Structure 1
Amino acid sequence: MKHKLSLLLLALFSIIGLQAQKLENSTLWKIEGNGLDKASYLFGTIHLTCDATIENDVKKALDDTSQVVLEIDMDDPELQTKMIKGMYMKDGKTLKDFVSEEDYQAIDSLFIKNIGVSVKTSENVKPFFLAASLYPHILDCPLQSFEVELIKIAQIQGEDVHGLETIEDQIQVFEDIPYQDQIDDLLEMAKDNLASDKKDFAKMLSVYNDENITDLLDMMDDDENSSVAKHQDKLLVTRNKNWISKIKTYANEQATFFGVGAGHLAGENGVINLLRAEGYTVTAVRSE
């Protein structure tokens, strides 16, 4: 349950992107130079997928490093409690405070059709979390997660798992973005009972499987129906920039395997470009 909740939160960050710089097609990148004694690796994940098989090049990178750092420490025993605490809207607000009766019924119908439960049971939950609860119904397959698989390998190898940010940091993002903007996305999902979302996610999976991180980012940015696109600074840019100092610290301590959403890799303010700006050599690792 702890991992399921955190994965749903992570998945929220997979829908937003920036205008991307063209990079080689690879989800695995080697970080060297700038005083590092040993190379570290940066792996772009997709948080919810149909097939989270860890390929041989990624396994080798895990073997060549001695700790795993994800967006958040998903192995934190208090993660579930912290997430539940931050799920609710502040000041006693509920969904009905932001929508017409017609729109409320549309959202309620969406939940009844897909989850079998009325949204009335959770109408005080932040809209982003409501949207996340629908993600399992967008994929026509049993859900898998790269983060869960990476944690399994770290545990087998006896390695520590850390996070680039806290769960409180991630939850705060959805407090900083107006509730109304979040609700607009729910209404878009309700318009065709997730049909467009299923189509878009299938395309995203295909692009990810091609390891085309530039096209993945462009595709996200082209989602004209996503009302949260105007909050890319909060969802992506600020977080990427905040991560760089932490990536530097971890990599200087020991060879580290970093796993973050693939949408964070490309672009002018993507992690790859930001690391290169700090003086690191960041090169694509091609599958053999």
Structure 2
Amino acid sequence: MNSFLWTIKRAPPSYLFGTIHVPYTRVWDFIPENSKKAFQLSSNVFFELDLTDPYTIMALTSCQLLPRGESLQKLLPQELYRRLKSHLDYVKHMMPHWMTPDQRGKGLYADYLFNAIAGNWERKRPVWVMLMVNSLTEADIRSRGVPVLDLYLAQEAERLRKRTGAVERVEEQCHPLNGLNFSQVLFALNQTLLQHESLRAGSVQVPYTTEDLIKHYNCGDLSAIIFNHDTSQLPHFINSSLPDHERITAQQIDSYFRQELIYKRNERMGRRITELLEGNPGQAFFFAFGAGHFLGNYTVLDILRQEGYEVEHTPSGQPVTEKPYPSAGSPSETELPPLRHPLGTGFPDATHPEEEPLTPHLLLPDSLSQLEEFGRQKKRPKKQQRQQGRQRQFNDLWVRMEDSTIQLPNIRTTKGTVEAPLTSQEQQKRTETHNLHPPRWDPTSPSSPAPPVIPPQVAVVCLLAVLLPRLLQPS
């Protein structure tokens, strides 16, 4: 059996692993042990996208939406919109029949599943609706509820306290899909609907099914054709039945997607792998990308070899290095040196309308085909506050004089003139005398010292300090 593991020859070695975006339970038992060993030995595990970062979903949601105030009903031709709505109504009706007993046993409901995939579809850009329609098949619905292989590896890496990261931002995968012109998008959406309407009628067969993909992967088939289809996860529009002018449009779309979603991404991913390896000598990396990025022409492997790295395929029976670290044993995360990352630390915050629910629509090609492990809801991440811990109370903002480190000078005034400050001995003697014989105020005696006068400004401030915390307490 072949494997989808490649070794980057360096000290320590790093690894490239090809995944497919199907439930991990369908392929995990067939993955060779040396691939799993390479994952275990690597201190850094990197993916195409950061699959565990909620901002990945936020950025995807933002990228999918039409500008505020627009909707598909206003944008699409009336007949195309009617067919789209009719097909989605059919899917919603069939979804309870498509779901498996195992999915129901996990607490999945058909309405929830439909809303998670197709929720708010009228506010999405047509190209994303096309992808959504392409994923609403019986086979795809029956596979929901289990993490895909990429997400499972990300969850395992976090459980094992490995350092995880990404070589792409979600915007870099997302924006090229929005680059098609409107006539091309209408053609693609119409052709997608025609294909699924024909499937419903039983007049055509899907050229590549999910079952075909799983079979080829488990058998270790390194053919690029089927796995490049998985990489783009887009319908194929080129067929002999199209008129000449439509065939030209289909070829333009296919060429655009292949260039933007495969070749350009391969170059970007290979360049960032190089930056990670060069910027972090002495650290072992495990890169898990879609298998299609390592197969065919102009792959990630080709980019790395152009950069001078020796990359070799690692068959299933070949052992991987037992100790990839310079020192014995695997260092803990706290012992690893800081990681130099070409993407920097963190991603720019994605903005999205407040009314948009943060649910994964699972439609991005590659890693985001099935991000969410259903049954574990992700809440909308709140804006990060600069200060952690409890909010400061109003009276916490007052500076207590006894806590101040500033020493005020001991100044005396006599009849409007400033005298020299008392010495420490004079001040101590006056304090002792004051404590033994405190002066009393006699209003009838002009020589009696006057009572202390509190300036009105100080009185108001003191009163506010007492009353405001009570007023601000929740009832």
How would you bin the TM-score normalised by the shorter chain? 0.7 to 0.9
- Structure 2: state its 5+ residue gaps: 94-113, 239-249, 318-475
- 2:213 maps to 204
Q: How does 1:1-288 map to 2 (within 5 A)?
A: 25-32=2-9, 36-49=10-23, 51-53=26-28, 55=31, 56-90=33-67, 94-96=71-73, 99-116=76-93, 121-134=120-133, 135=135, 137=137, 138-139=139-140, 140-142=142-144, 143-178=146-181, 179-180=185-186, 182-184=188-190, 186-193=192-199, 196-197=205-206, 200-217=209-226, 220=229, 224-225=236-237, 227=250, 228-231=253-256, 232-252=258-278, 253=280, 254-288=283-317
Judge conservation of contact 2:224–2:296 (CA < 8 Å) in 1.
no
What letter corresponds to residue 53 of structure 1 in structure 2? Answer: W
Q: Which structure: greater helix fraction?
A: 1
1:219 CA drift (Å): 7.0
Question: How big is the alpha-carbon RMSD for the aligned residues of Structure 1 and Structure 2?
Answer: 3.2
What letter corresponds to residue 3 of structure 2 in structure 1? Answer: S
Q: Count residues with an aligned counterpart.
A: 262
SS of equivalent to 1:86: helix
CA distance in 2, matches of 1:43, 1:188: 36
What letter corresponds to residue 84 of structure 1 in structure 2? Answer: T
Judge conservation of contact 1:27–1:211 (CA < 8 Å) in 2.
yes
What letter corresponds to residue 237 of structure 2 in structure 1? Answer: N
- Structure 1: state its 5+ residue gaps: 1-23
SS of equivalent to 1:257: strand
- 2:441 maps to none
1:218 CA drift (Å): 7.6
What letter corresponds to residue 172 of structure 1 in structure 2? Answer: H
- 1:11 maps to none
Q: Which 10-residue stretch deviates more, 155-164 or 41-50?
A: 41-50
1:120 CA drift (Å): 9.7
- 2:367 maps to none
Q: Give deviations 1:182-240, integer Å, cap 9, x for gaps.
A: 4245324432347744853332232222232324358739x753644222111111111
Measured at CA, do residues 207 and 90 of structure 1 come closer, stay the same or move farther in structure 2, by a change above 3 Å? Answer: farther
Q: Which 10-residue stretch deviates more, 156-165 or 140-149?
A: 140-149
CA distance in 1, matches of 2:86, 2:156: 41
CA distance in 1, matches of 2:57, 2:128: 14
Judge conservation of contact 2:22–2:148 (CA < 8 Å) in 1.
yes
Judge conservation of contact 2:271–2:304 (CA < 8 Å) in 1.
no
CA distance in 2, matches of 1:83, 1:100: 26
Higher relative contact order (CA 8 A, sep 6+): 1
SS of equivalent to 2:288: strand
Measured at CA, do residues 260 and 92 of structure 1 come closer, stay the same or move farther in structure 2, by a change above 3 Å? Answer: farther
Greater Rg, structure 1 or structure 2? 2
Q: Give deviations 1:45-104, integer Å, cap 9, x for gaps.
A: 112346252632221011221111100111223222222222113475543466443332
Measured at CA, do residues 199 and 216 of structure 1 come closer, stay the same or move farther in structure 2, by a change above 3 Å? Answer: closer
What letter corresponds to residue 103 of structure 1 in structure 2? Answer: L
Judge conservation of contact 1:96–1:123 (CA < 8 Å) in 2.
yes
CA distance in 1, matches of 2:74, 2:255: 22
Judge conservation of contact 1:188–1:225 (CA < 8 Å) in 2.
no
Judge conservation of contact 2:213–2:227 (CA < 8 Å) in 1.
no
CA distance in 1, matches of 2:227, 2:49: 25
Measured at CA, do residues 90 and 234 of structure 1 come closer, stay the same or move farther in structure 2, by a change above 3 Å? Answer: farther
CA distance in 2, matches of 1:153, 1:242: 26
Judge conservation of contact 2:227–2:291 (CA < 8 Å) in 1.
no
What letter corresponds to residue 174 of structure 2 in structure 1? Answer: I
Judge conservation of contact 2:208–2:226 (CA < 8 Å) in 1.
no
Measured at CA, do residues 258 and 185 of structure 1 come closer, stay the same or move farther in structure 2, by a change above 3 Å? Answer: farther
SS of equivalent to 2:316: coil
SS of equivalent to 1:158: coil
Judge conservation of contact 2:213–2:226 (CA < 8 Å) in 1.
no
